[in-house]
Amino acid sequence: GDIMAEGEGLLSVDYEVFGKVQGVFFRKYTQGEAKRLGLVGWVQNTSHGTVQGQIQGSTARVRELQNWLQKVGSPQSRISRAEFCNEKEITALEHKDFQILK
């Protein structure tokens, strides 16, 4: 079916992933998965050893990436938990693509 099904809203969610998620290509894999799902947003390392960012796209695809961030991650990562906040419906995507921020 259509990625943007009729009546399916757009969602924006902020996330932070805890565990062994730095130095394990977590950002690169997150970007790859987000692009595969057709999502936009960003990902970056924080100074306190976590990875954080924002994801935007169709609700179903955002849920898929949330699940991936909680359970899968990059092959070498060890995720202890993922936290999500500032979830809101948006009328248009606020990013052009999915970027890794330094």
What is the per-residue pLDDT across 64-80, written as a single tens digit (0 to 9) for each?
999 999 999 999 999 99
What 3-state class would DSSP assign to 43?
A: strand
Report the DSSP beta bridge partners of residue 79: 19
Of 100, 61, 55, 102, whose CA–CA distance to 82 is shortest?
A: 55
What is the per-residue pLDDT across 34-46, written as a single tens digit (0 to 9) for each?
999 999 999 999 9
Catalytic residue among 45, 63, 78, 81: 45
**Catalytic status, residue 27:** yes
**Catalytic status, residue 67:** no
DSSP, res 68: H
All domains of the chain, ordered by start, with CATH? 10-95 (3.30.70.100)
Task: Give the relative orientation of helices 26-36 and 59-71 as an angle to the nearest 10 degrees.
Answer: 150
Catalytic residue among 27, 36, 67, 81: 27
DSSP, res 88: E
